[in-house]
Amino acid sequence: MPQQTITDEEINKCFEVMSELRENLIKDEFLDLVRQMEREGYRLAFHEENGSVVVVAGYRVFTNLSMGKNLYVDDLSTSKSERSKGYGEKMINWLRDVAKAEGCNYFHLDSGTQRHAAHKFYFRQGLSINYYHFSEKL
C-alpha cells in the first residue's frame, strides 16, 4: 500500500523513480528540495515492492476559487521497469482515498502534451481533459 514519506531515508529512496519523470533533479539536492516544498504544502508518497520503490507521487491539498478544496498531483512516476503491473493504478486509488478523506471536491493533475502513454493510462483511470494549462518560463 502506498504511504506518505516521513523520514529523510524514505524521501531519498524516492529519488530514482522520481528522476525518471523529472530528469532535471539532482540527487544531492533532492532531500532539501522536498523538505522546502513540504513547508509549502507538498507531500511525497511512495509504494515499495520487495524493498524497492516502484511508484512515487507528489501532491498537494489546497483550496481555490474554481474547485474549492482539491488534491492536485504535481508528480506521478512509476519505474520504467515496473510499468503495466498495476502500481500506478494503486497509487491513483490511494490518492483518491486521501482526497476523499480530506474532504476534497476534486482530484486532478497535469500531464505533458508529449506523454501519450500516460494520457491513455489517465483515461483508463476515469480522468478527463477539462482545462488547458498555459505557462511561460521566466
For residue range 56-89, what is the model confidence (pLDDT) as tens digits?
999 999 999 999 999 999 999 999 999 999 999 9
What pTM does this model have? Answer: 0.92
Query: How many whole angstroms separate alpha carbon 26 and alpha carbon 98?
Result: 29
Backbone φ and ψ of 35, nearest 5°: -65, -40
pLDDT of residue 132: 87
Domains of the chain, first to last: 3-124 (3.40.630.30)
pLDDT of residue 133: 87
pLDDT of residue 131: 87
| Residue ranges, the chain, pLDDT below 50 | none
